[in-house]
């Protein structure tokens, strides 16, 4: 007798696949919505910092300031990840984005000192948005597998952090420019990897996913703005 396919198991398998797809789409949708929301406290922080805070104290002690910022930055990320399954993680994330908005202020103050400062900021924002949407479109296809980027990201993170720590003490313009280029490449790889990881079911927490994408977008924008500032017009 010929073997007959087990038709009873097929609906459950299809249902299971459909449930996984629905969950992946939900995580991706929630991540995009929350990522958009994080831009609000970032903008508020940037406006407050640019207009009401004097960052001369950071310029007076750049090494201590940078080390303190790095400690707070990674400590805050740790707390967000630790509470990513609760509402506290969401509030910590929004507070984190506000503080990073404040930290954009010195760069924005410098940029707005140029005659074409507003134009440079808009160019950096448009460039960041354009790069993000192109990379998101590339990574959103679940048939594509960008998991191989994980090794590049780990190695790149270590190399960039060592360079950042070294440049805190060296303060070399050439290294700073190289770091901007490295951050752009690194951040682009992170965006592709994280979005692809979501659509392929590897990431199921939208707070954690948003945090990763936010930091990548933040570094991408600030690096582009720094590079564009080289062509600023003071005349």
Whether the predicted pLDDT of 172 surpasses 50: yes
* Residue 235: predicted pLDDT: 58
Confidence of residue 16 (pLDDT cuts 50, 70, 90): low
Whether the predicted pLDDT of 11 surpasses 80: no
- Please name which of 210, 219, 193, 195 lies closest in space to residue 92, comparing C-alpha atoms: 210
3-state secondary structure of 96: helix
* Residue 230: predicted pLDDT: 87
* Residue 7: predicted pLDDT: 37
* Residue 206: predicted pLDDT: 96
**How many helices (H) and strands (E) would you count in the chain?**
9, 0
* Residue 231: predicted pLDDT: 73
**pTM of the predicted model as reported, rounded to 2 decimal places:** 0.90
Whether the predicted pLDDT of 174 surpasses 80: yes
What is the DSSP track for 212-227? HHHHHHHHHHHHHHHH
Count of CA atoms in the C-beta half-sphere (13 A) of 66: 14
Q: If you average pLDDT over every residue of the chain, what do you get?
A: 90
Highest mean pLDDT: which range of 20-34, 72-86, 171-185: 72-86
Can you tell me the mean pLDDT for 179-188? 97
Q: What is the pLDDT of residues 187-220, one digit of tens each?
A: 999 999 999 999 999 999 999 999 999 999 999 9
Distance in angstroms (rounded) separating the CA atoms of residues 183 and 24: 28
Q: What residue ranges do the domains of the chain occupy?
A: 22-231
* Residue 173: predicted pLDDT: 86
* Residue 22: predicted pLDDT: 84
Please check whether residue 108 is in contact with residue 121, taking contact to mean a CB–CB distance below 8 angstroms: yes
* Residue 23: predicted pLDDT: 85
Residue 229 backbone zone (phi > 0: left; psi -120 to 50: alpha; other: beta) = alpha
Whether the predicted pLDDT of 34 surpasses 90: yes
* Residue 190: predicted pLDDT: 98
* Residue 234: predicted pLDDT: 67
What letters, b where the CB count within 10 A reaches 16 and e where it falls short, cover 61-97? eeeeebeeeeeeeeebbebbbebbeeeebbebbbebb
Percent of the chain with pLDDT over 70: 91
Three-class SS of 130-199: HHHHHHHHHHCCCCCCCCCHHHHHHHHHHHHHHHHHHHHHHCCHHHHHHHHHHHHHHHHHHHHHHHHHHH
């Amino acid at each position: 007798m010929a073997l007959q396919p087990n038709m009873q198991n097929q609906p459950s398998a299809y249902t299971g696949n459909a449930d996984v797809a629905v969950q992946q789409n939900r995580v991706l949708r929630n991540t995009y919505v929350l990522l958009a929301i994080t831009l609000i406290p970032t903008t508020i922080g940037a406006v407050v910092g640019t207009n009401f805070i004097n960052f001369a104290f950071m310029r007076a002690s750049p090494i201590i300031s940078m080390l303190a910022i790095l400690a707070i930055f990674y400590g805050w990320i740790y707390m967000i990840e630790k509470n990513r399954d609760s509402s506290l993680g969401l509030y910590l994330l929004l507070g984190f984005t506000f503080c990073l908005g404040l930290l954009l202020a010195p760069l924005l103050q410098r940029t707005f000192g140029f005659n074409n400062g507003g134009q440079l900021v808009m160019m950096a924002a448009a460039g960041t948005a354009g790069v993000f949407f192109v990379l998101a479109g590339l990574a959103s296809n679940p048939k594509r597998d960008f998991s191989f980027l994980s090794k590049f990201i780990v190695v790149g993170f270590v190399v960039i952090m060592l360079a950042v720590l070294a440049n805190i003490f060296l303060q070399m313009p050439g290294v700073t420019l190289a770091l901007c280029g490295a951050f752009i490449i690194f951040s682009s790889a992170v965006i592709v990897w994280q979005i692809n990881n979501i659509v392929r079911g590897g990431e199921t927490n939208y707070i954690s996913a948003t945090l990763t994408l936010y930091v990548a977008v933040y570094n991408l924008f600030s690096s582009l703005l720094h590079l564009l500032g080289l062509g600023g017009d003071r005349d």
